[in-house]
Structure 1
């Protein structure tokens, strides 16, 4: 049995092989080069019993050699895959489960029954070009795989690169990946070929649902462990949201990705007094990307305003000039290809790699100052009290008739809710839900108010045109804002009256 430790990346660039050779040569990194064709057939029962055990079973053929492999349960984080696997040379192209050690199976697994039901589900055929690299006293196999996954007439392209630690220190793996980022447009590969094959076999899309709340029952009231475990969770969610956007190109998915960047950065702010300068550098990088994606918020609001089936479009059609003005505004935003380039960029990959290294580093001094660490629950209560006090001070003085004052408080409300994302699950969930409902209602109301404010801003550009159609839209917009401000004031009062659930 061996445990694979490998980084996997999906590739956007062309001429990958040549670029890799140039990179290794320019950095005087010695390597052994090889190219071979691989055919892999994956097996399971019709009702996916092996999948239920988190096992992947295949027969691999290259030239005349046949190898039977099973990969058992492992973990994936930040594109780093760690999974035990068992490889056995065989003479036939159908698996024999009895060749594997009995110890790999759960006690209640009926291996004989699984063997009887095995059938081929999908195959992968690809060219593997490898460079066995000597770097920093370690050996790493860099494999470029290009080909396809096939299942029942359906197919999906394979274009990925894997870095597998053969021997040595995992830091060499990170450093080689960093060199690749400087030459290739990459993104973390969060799905194995087997996982993609199972999806193709089922003919269903991946489920990219994102979990914005963090919980962990294994931190034992340790503040540092909570921080690292939360970073691990949110790095996974960031890469899920990134993959979701690149799959469907929806602004809502991109907005989720930006929200997760904000949650991660907020965690660094919550821990500001006990983290190192190295950690604060990562926070600054997070701020850089949040700022780059600041336009997404406005794009979402504008899309809602322009939606032909939305709440506003019928009224906006009173003025064709306004429609044209909004379309012009929409064209100012980056297109999907520009976003894709950014998500495959060296700097975005470096950010994720730095987060991954911080999470996996056994030395806490990389992330935390050498000071006494507070206990988790008191620390969480203190941070949540600070966030709530800041929010109360900000909104108690709002003039209920002033829309701009409400809009100015969106960020402080957002920060308070993000603190709940980090620590809310430490406390009673029913009380937490009851407390958050009016604040979330206010956040939704402020989003609607922002949409109406976009309309107002565009109407002001048409102020010289006093025709009847524009006047109708102005009157409608003003009435909508007035009604919404009344509702927001009631919601604010209800939210302010609730006791903090973390004090119960």
Structure 2
């Protein structure tokens, strides 16, 4: 058995030549040549192996055939770790009896599984490799370019894998960070096998389920709390990326996904700041990404007005024309190409890799020199500090207008995220009673932003809706002020 530990990154084809030049010239790098790999992935029609969390393939290379089975493993950030078993064979279909008996679940019917195997999909690609020594570690870097084929469907492969051959796992991230200074990447959570099952229609599409509170460890181990928060943010970030890559014309779905992606990024930044880990390396990277995501708030505001067949615009004059101008405004945001554009900025992948590095450090316990209060006290202090900032920015004695609310939007968003990160620790009834009006206020702020966009469009295109806007904004501000002053009186739940 081999324990495969690798970091997977996705790369765009236009960067291949630069990447090869960097790897060829990297200190202590030895090019290992290029080979063509053909791979058939096998399972039963009812996906018995997948239900056992196993992946089975037969790989052809250099006139040889090798069958490999990977058993249950783990993906942390972009680090894939799975036990695997490799056996040379002389046929293109796998022979399960050649693998060790102890890897199979108790009570399995291996003969039945063997006779039911079929090739579900193929992955065929050119692999160019380098061996690079980094301190006391040896890393194999592989550039894979090719395609996944399933039922006449094709999905391109264009990825870089850093596999640990000897030494410390941290060498994978250290080397990737160096390369990412020159070549744009993003973390690759989905393996070729996962993508193949998806392409073959043998797995459910990626979806965002109801967002629940972060499930924190119960043992008061603050390093594990940090690891859980970082891993939750990174995992969700990559899941949203995967969904955003799927073709869709539903701008409302895209708006929701972009909003969730920004929440993930902000949660990660907030976590680093809370644990004293936001530094000169990560802070500018977060700033850069936050700027790149500046389109998200206007997108969400426009979609608010257009939801439910533009129900919020039901009583407006020239509704059809107003809707058309809002749709044009959204079109100018180029939402469908935003992800590809942001990926091309090196800071995007650099931030993801920096977070993986911090996650590995937390999991290894190398932050033990830092002292934090026990979890309950830590969470209470964070909630209280956030609450004080909200009370200071919107005191109960103040009368707030639309501009005032715009100015506190980010602070309110941060406060809501603090509650999301630690809310699971508190009684649900009191927690939800406290949070609900603040979440309503956040929605109100987004609606005020939408009215601001409408004012701009009205002036630009002579829509003549100023009177309608004045009435809507006055009514909304009245409701928000009442809600805010009531919310400030609700007892805290921590």
2: CA distance, partners of 1:27 / 1:456: 55
Tell me the equivalent position of 2:270: 266
2: CA distance, partners of 1:264 / 1:363: 16
Q: How much is the aligned-residue C-alpha RMSD, in angstroms?
A: 3.1
2: CA distance, partners of 1:95 / 1:327: 54
State the 1:459 CA deviation: 4.1
Q: 1:316 to 1:31 in 2, by over 3 A?
A: farther
Tell me the equivalent position of 1:242: 241
Tell me the equivalent position of 1:424: 423
Tell me the equivalent position of 1:286: 286
Unpaired runs of 5+ residues, structure 1, are none
SS in 2 for 1:361: helix
Tell me the equivalent position of 2:8: 8
Tell me the equivalent position of 2:352: 352
The answer on 1:141 being equivalent to 2:145 is: no
Q: Deviations over 1:5-51 (max 9, x none)?
A: 111112213261x3333213433443133222222111112111111
SS in 1 for 2:45: coil
Tell me the equivalent position of 1:58: 57
Q: Deviations over 1:124-153 (max 9, x none)?
A: 122222223334343222222222222222
Moved more, 127-136 or 373-382: 127-136
CA contact (8 A) 2:288 2:347 kept: no
Q: 1:388 to 1:123 in 2, by over 3 A?
A: same
State the 1:256 CA deviation: 1.8
Q: 1:482 aligns with which of 461, 474, 479?
A: 474
2: CA distance, partners of 1:425 / 1:394: 26
TM norm structure 2? 0.88
Report the number of matched residues. 489
Q: 1:31 to 1:152 in 2, by over 3 A?
A: same
1: CA distance, partners of 2:306 / 2:214: 38
Tell me the equivalent position of 1:374: 373
State the 1:344 CA deviation: 3.6
Unpaired runs of 5+ residues, structure 2, are 249-253
Moved more, 205-214 or 294-303: 205-214
How do 1:198-217 residues align onto structure 2 when only pairs under 5 Å count?
198-202=197-201, 206-209=205-208, 213-216=212-215
Tell me the equivalent position of 1:501: 493
TM norm structure 1? 0.86
1: CA distance, partners of 2:362 / 2:478: 53
Q: 1:48 to 1:191 in 2, by over 3 A?
A: same
Q: Deviations over 1:69-118 (max 9, x none)?
A: 11011111222111110111122222222222222223344433322322
CA contact (8 A) 1:10 1:159 kept: yes
State the 1:66 CA deviation: 1.4
CA contact (8 A) 2:15 2:183 kept: no
Moved more, 193-202 or 383-392: 383-392
Tell me the equivalent position of 1:453: 452
2: CA distance, partners of 1:404 / 1:501: 30
